[in-house]
Protein backbone atom coordinates (compact mmCIF):
# COMPACT_ATOMS: atom_id res chain seq x y z
CA UNK A 1 0.00 0.00 0.00
CA UNK A 2 2.50 2.62 1.15
CA UNK A 3 5.61 3.19 -0.89
CA UNK A 4 9.15 3.06 0.39
CA UNK A 5 10.54 6.15 2.04
CA UNK A 6 12.76 8.16 -0.30
CA UNK A 7 15.82 10.21 0.69
CA UNK A 8 13.94 13.49 0.56
CA UNK A 9 11.27 12.21 2.93
CA UNK A 10 13.81 10.59 5.22
CA UNK A 11 15.33 14.00 5.87
CA UNK A 12 12.12 14.97 7.71
CA UNK A 13 12.63 12.08 10.15
CA UNK A 14 16.39 12.60 10.59
CA UNK A 15 16.18 13.70 14.23
CA UNK A 16 13.76 11.00 15.42
CA UNK A 17 15.95 8.36 13.78
CA UNK A 18 18.56 9.33 16.38
CA UNK A 19 16.26 7.98 19.14
CA UNK A 20 17.38 4.63 20.55
CA UNK A 21 15.53 1.80 18.79
CA UNK A 22 14.17 4.11 16.10
CA UNK A 23 15.58 2.39 13.02
CA UNK A 24 14.72 2.75 9.34
CA UNK A 25 12.62 -0.42 9.74
CA UNK A 26 10.64 1.31 12.51
CA UNK A 27 10.17 4.33 10.29
CA UNK A 28 8.95 2.00 7.56
CA UNK A 29 6.34 0.55 9.97
CA UNK A 30 5.05 4.07 10.65
CA UNK A 31 4.87 4.72 6.91
CA UNK A 32 2.78 1.60 6.34
CA UNK A 33 0.34 2.38 9.17
CA UNK A 34 -3.16 3.83 8.97
CA UNK A 35 -4.42 5.75 12.00
CA UNK A 36 -8.00 6.87 12.50
CA UNK A 37 -8.31 10.16 14.36
CA UNK A 38 -11.86 10.44 15.68
CA UNK A 39 -12.57 14.10 16.33
CA UNK A 40 -10.56 16.96 14.85
CA UNK A 41 -10.75 19.44 17.71
CA UNK A 42 -8.06 20.31 20.24
CA UNK A 43 -6.82 16.77 20.81
CA UNK A 44 -7.20 15.87 17.14
CA UNK A 45 -5.14 18.93 16.13
CA UNK A 46 -2.14 17.94 18.23
CA UNK A 47 -2.43 14.23 17.49
CA UNK A 48 -2.63 14.72 13.73
CA UNK A 49 0.20 17.28 13.61
CA UNK A 50 2.45 14.99 15.68
CA UNK A 51 1.63 11.90 13.60
CA UNK A 52 2.02 13.72 10.26
CA UNK A 53 5.41 15.01 11.36
CA UNK A 54 6.47 11.58 12.61
CA UNK A 55 5.61 10.02 9.23
CA UNK A 56 2.50 7.91 9.83
CA UNK A 57 1.70 6.96 6.23
CA UNK A 58 -2.05 7.44 6.28
CA UNK A 59 -4.18 9.56 8.60
CA UNK A 60 -7.96 9.25 8.41
CA UNK A 61 -9.65 12.22 10.10
CA UNK A 62 -13.33 12.07 11.07
CA UNK A 63 -15.31 15.14 12.16
CA UNK A 64 -18.65 16.55 11.06
CA UNK A 65 -18.11 20.07 12.36
CA UNK A 66 -17.02 23.44 10.99
CA UNK A 67 -14.47 25.75 12.62
CA UNK A 68 -15.75 28.23 15.20
CA UNK A 69 -13.95 31.27 16.62
CA UNK A 70 -14.12 29.69 20.10
CA UNK A 71 -12.12 26.67 18.84
CA UNK A 72 -8.99 28.71 18.25
CA UNK A 73 -7.68 28.70 21.85
CA UNK A 74 -6.75 25.03 21.47
CA UNK A 75 -7.39 23.71 17.95
CA UNK A 76 -4.02 24.61 16.53
CA UNK A 77 -4.58 23.17 13.07
CA UNK A 78 -6.80 26.15 12.31
CA UNK A 79 -6.44 29.89 11.75
CA UNK A 80 -8.86 32.76 12.23
CA UNK A 81 -9.37 32.93 8.46
CA UNK A 82 -10.60 29.29 8.50
CA UNK A 83 -13.70 30.04 10.62
CA UNK A 84 -16.82 28.57 9.01
CA UNK A 85 -14.91 25.99 6.94
CA UNK A 86 -15.22 22.23 7.52
CA UNK A 87 -12.56 21.06 9.99
CA UNK A 88 -11.50 17.96 8.06
CA UNK A 89 -10.90 19.97 4.87
CA UNK A 90 -8.67 22.57 6.50
CA UNK A 91 -6.92 19.91 8.59
CA UNK A 92 -5.97 17.75 5.60
CA UNK A 93 -4.58 20.74 3.74
CA UNK A 94 -2.48 21.75 6.74
CA UNK A 95 -1.18 18.22 7.35
CA UNK A 96 -0.21 17.73 3.72
CA UNK A 97 1.64 21.04 3.74
CA UNK A 98 3.50 19.89 6.87
CA UNK A 99 4.45 16.54 5.30
CA UNK A 100 3.68 16.10 1.59
CA UNK A 101 4.86 12.47 1.73
CA UNK A 102 1.95 11.21 3.83
CA UNK A 103 -1.74 10.77 3.03
CA UNK A 104 -4.39 12.67 4.99
CA UNK A 105 -8.00 11.74 4.31
CA UNK A 106 -10.81 13.83 5.78
CA UNK A 107 -14.30 12.37 6.29
CA UNK A 108 -17.11 14.75 7.25
CA UNK A 109 -19.06 12.14 9.19
CA UNK A 110 -21.05 11.82 12.39
CA UNK A 111 -19.73 9.12 14.74
CA UNK A 112 -22.10 6.16 14.84
CA UNK A 113 -21.50 2.42 14.90
CA UNK A 114 -22.12 1.85 11.21
CA UNK A 115 -20.00 4.75 9.99
CA UNK A 116 -17.08 3.82 12.23
CA UNK A 117 -17.17 0.11 11.34
CA UNK A 118 -17.18 1.03 7.70
CA UNK A 119 -14.25 3.46 8.00
CA UNK A 120 -12.20 0.89 9.96
CA UNK A 121 -12.88 -1.79 7.33
CA UNK A 122 -12.52 0.39 4.24
CA UNK A 123 -9.22 1.95 5.29
CA UNK A 124 -7.83 -1.09 7.14
CA UNK A 125 -7.19 1.03 10.21
CA UNK A 126 -4.37 -0.15 12.51
CA UNK A 127 -4.93 2.17 15.48
CA UNK A 128 -7.84 4.41 16.53
CA UNK A 129 -7.30 7.59 18.53
CA UNK A 130 -10.17 8.94 20.60
CA UNK A 131 -10.02 12.73 20.30
CA UNK A 132 -13.72 13.18 21.01
CA UNK A 133 -15.36 15.52 23.48
CA UNK A 134 -18.46 13.62 24.60
CA UNK A 135 -19.12 10.35 26.34
CA UNK A 136 -21.82 9.11 23.98
CA UNK A 137 -19.57 9.14 20.90
CA UNK A 138 -16.69 7.70 22.93
CA UNK A 139 -18.77 4.73 23.99
CA UNK A 140 -19.83 4.10 20.40
CA UNK A 141 -16.19 4.16 19.31
CA UNK A 142 -15.24 1.91 22.25
CA UNK A 143 -17.83 -0.66 21.21
CA UNK A 144 -16.62 -0.65 17.61
CA UNK A 145 -12.91 -1.03 18.43
CA UNK A 146 -13.68 -3.91 20.82
CA UNK A 147 -15.77 -5.60 18.12
CA UNK A 148 -13.09 -5.06 15.47
CA UNK A 149 -10.26 -5.84 17.93
CA UNK A 150 -8.34 -2.70 17.03
CA UNK A 151 -6.22 -0.90 19.65
CA UNK A 152 -7.47 2.52 20.69
CA UNK A 153 -5.78 5.36 22.53
CA UNK A 154 -8.25 7.24 24.70
CA UNK A 155 -7.60 10.82 25.78
CA UNK A 156 -9.89 13.26 27.52
CA UNK A 157 -9.63 16.78 28.93
CA UNK A 158 -11.75 18.95 31.16
CA UNK A 159 -10.61 22.24 32.60
CA UNK A 160 -7.03 21.84 33.79
CA UNK A 161 -7.34 18.06 34.07
CA UNK A 162 -6.67 15.36 31.53
CA UNK A 163 -6.42 11.59 31.23
CA UNK A 164 -5.12 8.95 28.87
CA UNK A 165 -5.27 5.16 28.57
CA UNK A 166 -4.63 2.54 25.89
CA UNK A 167 -7.29 -0.05 25.08
CA UNK A 168 -6.20 -3.34 23.56
CA UNK A 169 -9.36 -5.47 23.20
CA UNK A 170 -9.14 -8.83 25.06
CA UNK A 171 -6.03 -7.68 26.91
CA UNK A 172 -6.88 -4.46 28.75
CA UNK A 173 -10.00 -2.80 30.18
CA UNK A 174 -12.19 -0.98 27.67
CA UNK A 175 -13.81 2.39 28.37
CA UNK A 176 -17.03 0.67 29.41
CA UNK A 177 -15.14 -1.33 32.07
CA UNK A 178 -14.04 1.92 33.67
CA UNK A 179 -17.01 4.17 33.13
CA UNK A 180 -20.15 2.09 33.58
CA UNK A 181 -21.88 4.97 35.30
CA UNK A 182 -21.23 7.34 32.39
CA UNK A 183 -22.75 5.35 29.55
CA UNK A 184 -26.13 7.01 29.87
CA UNK A 185 -27.51 10.34 30.73
CA UNK A 186 -24.62 12.78 30.57
CA UNK A 187 -25.85 15.78 28.67
CA UNK A 188 -23.76 17.46 26.05
CA UNK A 189 -22.50 20.81 27.16
CA UNK A 190 -19.59 23.11 26.56
CA UNK A 191 -16.59 21.69 28.32
CA UNK A 192 -14.16 24.14 29.93
CA UNK A 193 -10.84 23.70 28.12
CA UNK A 194 -7.51 25.44 27.44
CA UNK A 195 -4.67 24.78 24.99
CA UNK A 196 -1.80 23.59 27.22
CA UNK A 197 -3.65 20.64 28.79
CA UNK A 198 -5.06 19.62 25.41
CA UNK A 199 -1.52 19.78 24.00
CA UNK A 200 -0.11 17.55 26.77
CA UNK A 201 -2.82 14.89 26.44
CA UNK A 202 -2.81 15.06 22.62
CA UNK A 203 0.97 14.69 22.63
CA UNK A 204 0.75 11.65 24.89
CA UNK A 205 -1.92 10.09 22.67
CA UNK A 206 0.31 10.52 19.62
CA UNK A 207 3.23 9.04 21.55
CA UNK A 208 1.23 5.98 22.54
CA UNK A 209 0.06 5.44 18.95
CA UNK A 210 3.66 5.64 17.70
CA UNK A 211 4.73 3.14 20.38
CA UNK A 212 1.94 0.69 19.49
CA UNK A 213 2.80 0.84 15.78
CA UNK A 214 6.58 0.88 16.09
CA UNK A 215 7.08 -1.54 18.97
CA UNK A 216 9.49 0.97 20.53
CA UNK A 217 8.93 1.39 24.28
CA UNK A 218 5.93 0.10 26.26
CA UNK A 219 2.41 1.48 25.81
CA UNK A 220 0.31 2.43 28.83
CA UNK A 221 -1.51 -0.91 29.14
CA UNK A 222 -3.79 -1.66 32.12
CA UNK A 223 -3.04 1.80 33.45
CA UNK A 224 -4.81 5.13 33.49
CA UNK A 225 -2.73 8.31 33.60
CA UNK A 226 -4.36 11.37 35.08
CA UNK A 227 -2.86 14.84 35.16
CA UNK A 228 -4.09 17.76 37.24
CA UNK A 229 -2.56 20.86 35.72
CA UNK A 230 -3.73 23.09 38.56
CA UNK A 231 -0.98 21.71 40.82
CA UNK A 232 0.85 19.80 38.06
CA UNK A 233 0.24 16.45 39.63
CA UNK A 234 0.54 13.30 37.51
CA UNK A 235 -0.79 9.96 38.73
CA UNK A 236 -0.82 6.55 37.08
CA UNK A 237 -3.47 4.11 38.34
CA UNK A 238 -3.53 0.37 37.78
CA UNK A 239 -6.84 -0.69 36.16
CA UNK A 240 -8.48 -4.06 35.56
CA UNK A 241 -11.12 -5.46 33.20
CA UNK A 242 -14.65 -5.76 34.48
CA UNK A 243 -15.50 -9.47 34.09
CA UNK A 244 -19.16 -8.46 33.57
CA UNK A 245 -18.47 -5.64 31.11
CA UNK A 246 -21.35 -5.59 28.61
CA UNK A 247 -18.96 -4.55 25.83
CA UNK A 248 -15.76 -6.55 26.24
CA UNK A 249 -16.49 -9.38 28.68
CA UNK A 250 -17.72 -11.74 25.98
CA UNK A 251 -14.93 -10.92 23.53
ZN1 LIG B 1 -14.97 -3.59 28.93
Q: What is the pLDDT of residues 7-43, one digit of tens each?
A: 999 999 999 999 999 999 999 999 999 999 999 999 9
| 34-86 pLDDT per residue, tens | 999 999 999 999 999 999 999 999 999 999 999 999 999 999 999 999 999 99
Instruction: Say how many Å lie between the CA of residue 136 and the centre of ligand 1.
Output: 15
Query: Is there a contact between 60 and 37 (Cβ–Cβ < 8 Å)?
Result: yes
Instruction: Say how many Å lie between the CA of residue 112 and the centre of ligand 1.
Output: 19
* Residues in the 5 Å CB sphere of ion ligand 1: 174, 176-177, 245, 247-248
Residue 205 reports pLDDT greater than 50: yes
CA 140 to chain centroid: 15
**Pairing status of strand 127-130 against strand 152-158:** parallel
pLDDT of residue 230: 98
Give CATH superfamily name and number for 7-238.
NAD(P)-binding Rossmann-like Domain (3.40.50.720)
Instruction: Say how many Å lie between the CA of residue 176 and the centre of ligand 1.
Output: 5
Question: How far are the Cα atoms of 2, 18, 42, 45, 205 from residue 202, in angstroms, in the given order?
Answer: 25, 23, 8, 8, 5
What mean pLDDT do residues 176-205 have?
A: 81
At 58, is the secondary structure helix, strand, or coil?
Answer: strand
| 123-174 pLDDT per residue, tens | 999 999 999 999 999 999 999 999 999 999 999 999 999 999 999 999 999 9
Question: How many CA atoms are closer than 13 Å to the CA of 244, on its beta-carbon side?
Answer: 1
> Whole-angstrom Cα distance, residue 99 to residue 12?
8
Domain ranges of the chain: 7-238
> Whole-angstrom Cα distance, residue 184 to residue 220?
27
Computed over its alpha carbons, how large is the radius of gyration of the chain?
17
> Whole-angstrom Cα distance, residue 95 to residue 77?
8
Instruction: Say how many Å lie between the CA of residue 117 and the centre of ligand 1.
Output: 18
**Pairing status of strand 103-107 against strand 58-62:** parallel
Amino acid sequence: MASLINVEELEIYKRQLLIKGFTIEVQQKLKKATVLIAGVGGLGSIVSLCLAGAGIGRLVLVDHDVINVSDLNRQFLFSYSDVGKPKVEVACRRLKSLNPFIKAIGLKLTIDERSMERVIDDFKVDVVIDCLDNIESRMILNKVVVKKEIPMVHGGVRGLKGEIMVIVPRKTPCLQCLLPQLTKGEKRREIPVIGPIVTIIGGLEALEAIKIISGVGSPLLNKLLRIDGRVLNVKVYGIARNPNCPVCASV
